[in-house]
């Protein structure tokens, strides 16, 4: 008798495998949809340790940093990532914080910051605007600074506008929130010079050398660096300007960080 082998079903292609793994949610009342929308608030983010990112670029940066927990899609998935949930456009619109339509949202896990071998850091003293905070973090990464320290009254780092302003840089530099007086004491013990940016009784950038371990303090958009921190600083720094006395804090931080990059 002639033997006829049983047909073997060919293995699924990668795209087909992805499609089979994807879970679908269609109800706006689903518990996970409610959990995701709670991440629009600082309270929700603090309680869960999660936050949202939107769009392909930020999700790609979150993947590189190893913090992406869930990928939410309503169209095709461009990423090689397992935990994917397909939702309706209505759910995507509810979860999104963007006024423009988005088709990819990442649910990300906050990563515990670790610091080592620092020589250039910035401290944010009550900076309130999330766009300013995000831009300063992005600039710190761009110019090789090691860590960003934030006072308790600096705006929430995981605010949607702050995250978008960082363009993903937030995922690639330690950002630590704490009492600045205590942080300054620790930095000084580690050999840092503390330099407060202010117009009062200050030196220009050409008068403060770019050497050793340096920590720069940038203050609130309205009131600047607090008087207590100015008095505790080792130096006070101003940017040489003509015809105007002040700059946006993120612009000022960019100029200072560019000037005081590490001498490589």
- Average pLDDT of the chain to the nearest whole number: 89
Which residue spans of the chain are classified as CATH 3.40.1280.10?
120-259
Structure confidence at residue 24 (pLDDT): 93
Contact 219, 249 (CB under 8 A): yes
Residue 9 predicted with pLDDT over 50: no
pLDDT of 100: 84
Give the residue range(s) of CATH 3.30.1330.30 domains in the chain: 19-109
Residues facing residue 249 across a β-bridge: none
Q: What residue ranges in the chain does DSSP mark as E strands?
A: 23-25, 50-54, 68-73, 84-87, 104-109, 120-125, 147-150, 175-177, 192-197, 203-204, 213-219, 235-238
Contacts of 75 (CB under 8 A, 6+ apart): 103
Q: Give tens-digit pLDDT for 199-243.
A: 888 999 999 999 999 999 999 999 999 999 999 999 999 998 876
The yes-or-no verdict on residue 99 having pLDDT over 50 is yes
Was domain 19-109 assigned CATH 3.30.1330.30?
yes
Name the pLDDT band for 17 (thresholds 50, 70, 90): very low
Among the four given CATH numbers 3.40.50.720, 3.40.630.40, 3.40.1280.10, 3.10.105.10, the one describing domain 120-259: 3.40.1280.10
Q: Is the pLDDT of residue 8 over 70?
A: no
Q: What is the pLDDT of residues 39-85, one digit of tens each?
A: 999 999 999 999 999 999 999 999 999 999 999 999 989 999 989 99
């Amino acid at each position: 008798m002639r033997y006829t082998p049983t047909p073997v079903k060919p293995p699924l292609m990668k795209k087909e495998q992805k499609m089979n793994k994807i879970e679908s949610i269609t109800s706006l009342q689903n518990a996970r949809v409610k959990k995701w929308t709670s991440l629009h608030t600082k309270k929700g983010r603090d309680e869960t340790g999660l936050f949202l990112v939107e769009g392909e670029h930020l999700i790609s940066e979150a993947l590189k940093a190893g913090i992406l927990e869930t990928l939410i899609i309503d169209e095709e998935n461009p990423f090689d990532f397992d935990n994917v949930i397909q939702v309706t456009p209505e759910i995507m619109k509810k979860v999104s914080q963007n006024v423009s339509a988005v088709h990819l949202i990442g649910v990300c896990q906050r990563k515990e910051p670790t610091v080592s071998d620092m020589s250039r850091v910035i401290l944010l003293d009550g900076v309130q605007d999330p766009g300013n905070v995000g831009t300063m973090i992005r600039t710190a990464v761009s110019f090789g600074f090691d860590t960003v320290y934030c006072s308790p009254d600096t705006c929430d780092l995981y605010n949607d506008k702050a995250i978008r302003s960082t363009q993903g840089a937030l995922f690639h530099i330690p950002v630590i929130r704490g009492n600045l007086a205590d942080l300054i004491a620790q930095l000084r013990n580690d050999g840092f010079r503390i330099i407060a940016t202010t117009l009062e009784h200050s030196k220009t950038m050409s008068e403060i050398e770019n050497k050793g371990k340096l920590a720069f303090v940038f203050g609130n958009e309205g009131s600047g660096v607090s008087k207590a921190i100015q008095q505790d600083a080792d130096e006070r720094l101003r940017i040489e300007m003509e015809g105007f006395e002040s700059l946006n804090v993120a612009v000022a931080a960019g100029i200072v960080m560019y000037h005081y990059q590490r001498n490589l």
